[in-house]
Structure 1
């Protein structure tokens, strides 16, 4: 039995003179974690929607690898002596072969967001009708746990297409990623936040570059992510609910008023940690049973380590997950200490991943 992509290529070869494979390329994008935010989804255009808020980007995220196949059309008998159009518009040729796997190598069967992104790139002529994409996407973190995997996947795919084609700019692919996220009711500010890396403050909602506005600072520290694997929460279940939307936005605006009054640099870190806890309580997120239970379990595990004075568990919005973060960037936990805490969390039936903050970068 032929794999789906081999069946497709066999079909193409029966109708076209040749397939020319471009070299394989790979692109990565770290996940994004929001600690506090507002919901700004009333605007008509997806590019204007998003959120104000604060969060950070981590090293682990999504890897996209793939190749472009250039498909050339064979001349028909009727076109003898006439130069044929070498480009084809065959929908089979334009169809992308996409494989998505999780951190354990198991297949994820939902690839709709990637297909939407590819179609948007075709519409923007960043991909051409005669170019067939074979794509493998691998997630380092679980989806629907507040780690920004949909945004990271789209951003990694954009980076891959930029490498394969040399067309467009990073900012163009980021803008498309933001719009596709919104069309699928995904993350509000993940693309904007992850576009600059580090620890970011999103001061105006929207797509990167414009109208979205964001600033960021860098920090070196390991981060422990802990989550309850039996509970997943899609962003839309909150931002499409009028009650949650109102409570989240009010709490987020209150926190942002205070954070925007101070310089956004490494000295703002303790205030961010404080406002994260304030937001979790004021928005009602802390009151949900799954999150409350998770926080209690992680805090109890921390009592068995020497981390209580060095680190604090902060809720990741909007998953059933926490990020164990340093209280002070001048006294960050050692990886060995976080690994010990992670092992204790595993004993309690939780899942965990040790990662690091990602560096600051330009979203140009």
Structure 2
């Protein structure tokens, strides 16, 4: 029997790196929102060896790591990503989390084990620090504490979201492994966290995200031009970590303008989080 699971994409506006020797405790604090575009994983037990495909291509080392944490039984995992990877849309986390939830369901394991396995795999491979836990929960979130069991505070809100890929892929591991850059991210991110916790709102999240991108030097010229172009149509910020934008406001105007700068997708804020599919 094949089990299908979905995990939403997740965009981070700003974050603070929280290292720890134990990957269960490592991660990030920050804020962002979940998307109704994400990843679908089909999971089935099989004979032989575990096989993982992502958009039809064999691979998925992060997913393989999560699966190995959950079972020694060979499984086949086919993942379909609904947004491009390495652009700050949380696709690595979404694919791994959807697969882990499917494996947990197939093997009779609790959901919490799937979330922990996906988080640990992401941290080990430096493909993400804070996408799995919010993707499991859904909504607009402030990640108050790091780690696989970190606490989340939700900001009320919903509606349409426009996302756009503006430039070349940005490899998360390359940024996270750059010590001076990581230190600056942590310093600026900590300040943004304090301000958002004092005044939690979607508007404040976008304002602080714009400041974070500028002050850390992560804002590329291409993304900066795209953000300036849509300023009169709503609120927009850079996806962390990617040469991409997420925006809310006048959807039609945002799509029209961002299409001049890159590839555009529309979706909604996903408030349900990762889940099994019928």
TM-score by length of 2: 0.91
Give the equivalent residue in structure 1 for 2:269: 357
Q: 354-363 or 218-227, which moves further after superposition?
A: 354-363
Distance 1:159 1:218 in 2: 26
Bigger RCO (CA 8 Å, 6+ sep): 2
Give the equivalent residue in structure 1 for 2:211: 278
Of 233, 236, 256 in structure 2, the residue corresponding to residue 340 of structure 1 is: 256
Give the equivalent residue in structure 2 for 1:36: 14
Change (3 A) 1:235 1:175: same
Give the equivalent residue in structure 2 for 1:27: 5
Report deviation, 1:315. 0.4
Distance 1:359 1:133 in 2: 29
Report deviation, 1:337. 3.7
Report deviation, 1:298. 5.2
Larger radius of gyration: 1
Give the equivalent residue in structure 2 for 1:168: 109
Distance 1:182 1:26 in 2: 24
Q: Is the 8 A contact 2:166 2:245 kept in 1?
A: no
Give the equivalent residue in structure 1 for 2:136: 195
Q: Is the 8 A contact 1:219 1:359 kept in 2?
A: no
Report deviation, 1:360. 4.7
Report deviation, 1:299. 3.4
Report deviation, 1:34. 0.5
Distance 1:110 1:319 in 2: 21
Report deviation, 1:146. 0.5
Distance 1:162 1:168 in 2: 5
Q: Secondary structure at the match of 1:34?
A: strand
Matched residues, number: 275
**1:74-85 equivalent positions in 2, closer than 5 A:** none
1:97 aligns with 2:51: yes
Report deviation, 1:353. 1.1
Distance 2:111 2:273 in 1: 12
Can you give the 5+ residue segments of structure 1 that lack an aligned partner in the other structure?
Answer: 1-22, 72-92, 102-106, 123-127, 303-307, 327-332
**1:311-330 equivalent positions in 2, closer than 5 A:** 311-326=234-249
Of 177, 198, 212 in structure 2, the residue corresponding to residue 261 of structure 1 is: 198
Q: Is the 8 A contact 1:218 1:360 kept in 2?
A: no
Change (3 A) 1:219 1:360: farther
Q: Secondary structure at the match of 1:156?
A: helix
**1:1-364 equivalent positions in 2, closer than 5 A:** 23-41=1-19, 43-69=20-46, 93=48, 95-101=49-55, 107-122=56-71, 128-129=72-73, 132-165=74-107, 167-207=108-148, 210=149, 212-228=150-166, 231-262=168-199, 264=200, 268-286=201-219, 291-297=220-226, 299-300=228-229, 302=230, 308-326=231-249, 333-334=250-251, 336-342=252-258, 344-345=259-260, 348=261, 350-361=262-273
The alignment yields a C-alpha RMSD, in angstroms, of 2.0
Distance 1:182 1:151 in 2: 10
Regions of 4+ moved over 6 Å: none
Q: Which has the higher strand share?
A: 2
Distance 1:120 1:163 in 2: 14
Report deviation, 1:109. 4.4
Q: Is the 8 A contact 1:295 1:313 kept in 2?
A: no
Q: Is the 8 A contact 2:13 2:238 kept in 1?
A: yes
Change (3 A) 1:60 1:362: closer
Give the equivalent residue in structure 2 for 1:78: none
Can you give the 5+ residue segments of structure 2 that lack an aligned partner in the other structure?
Answer: none
